[in-house]
Amino acid sequence: MPTPEFITELRALVGTRPLWLSCAVAVVLDPDGTRVLLGRRTDSGQWALPGGIIDPGEQPADAVVRECFEETGVVARPEALTSVTVSETVVYANGDRTQYLELTFRCRAVAGEARVNDEESTEVRWFDLTDLPPLDAPNRRRLTLALSHQGPAAYDFSGLPTVLGHASNETLGPPAR
């Protein structure tokens, strides 16, 4: 998909300075839960999970369903929010800098056929969970967290700042339940 209009408008105001954007990522499993849906990205040639930018006012779960269908032709039903993380800063070829708040959902395919459905992918297909293609570290982590998900969403935590009188999270003990 082309760059969303709201980002183009923001870029006209801020140039290449960093933007903070939210995105939704789908770990889509087939009905049996034995295969995962991946797309080979046009820009990098790497296999990746479907996902993309959440539009202003859009609910994250709605965005993950929309992005999955736009990229793969598969209609997916979100089952669980499995991780909330922040990406490394991405620097695009034109110098634009962006950092993403990433919301990853485990989803189940409910309709549609896996196919290239837009220009973001050159190939879309199902992979057996025991025979995956190479994935970059962020996609491997999202997939691992989604498959092992048992409770609340996973998140990264660097520890409490020292201004609170503690050098790290470890000094506080386990979180209260």
Residue 177 lies in a domain: no
Is residue 163's pLDDT more than 90? no
By the 10 Å C-beta count (0-12 exposed, 13-18 middle, 19+ buried), 163 is classed as: exposed
Q: What is the reported pLDDT for 169?
A: 45
Range of the domain at 56: 5-172
Q: What pTM was computed for the model?
A: 0.85
Percent of the chain scored above 90 by pLDDT? Answer: 78
Q: 96-135 b/e with 16+ CB inside 10 Å = b?
A: bebebebbbbbbebeeeebebbbebbeebbbbeeeeeeeb
Residue 158, pLDDT score: 66
Confidence of residue 161 (pLDDT cuts 50, 70, 90): low
Q: What's the CATH code of the domain at 69?
A: 3.90.79.10
Number of independent structural domains in the chain: 1
Domain assignment present for residue 13? The answer is: yes
Do the Cβ atoms of 111 and 77 come closer than 8 Å?
Answer: no
pLDDT digits (tens, 9 = 90+) for 17-50: 999 999 999 999 999 999 999 999 998 899 999 9
pLDDT digits (tens, 9 = 90+) for 81-98: 999 999 999 999 999 999
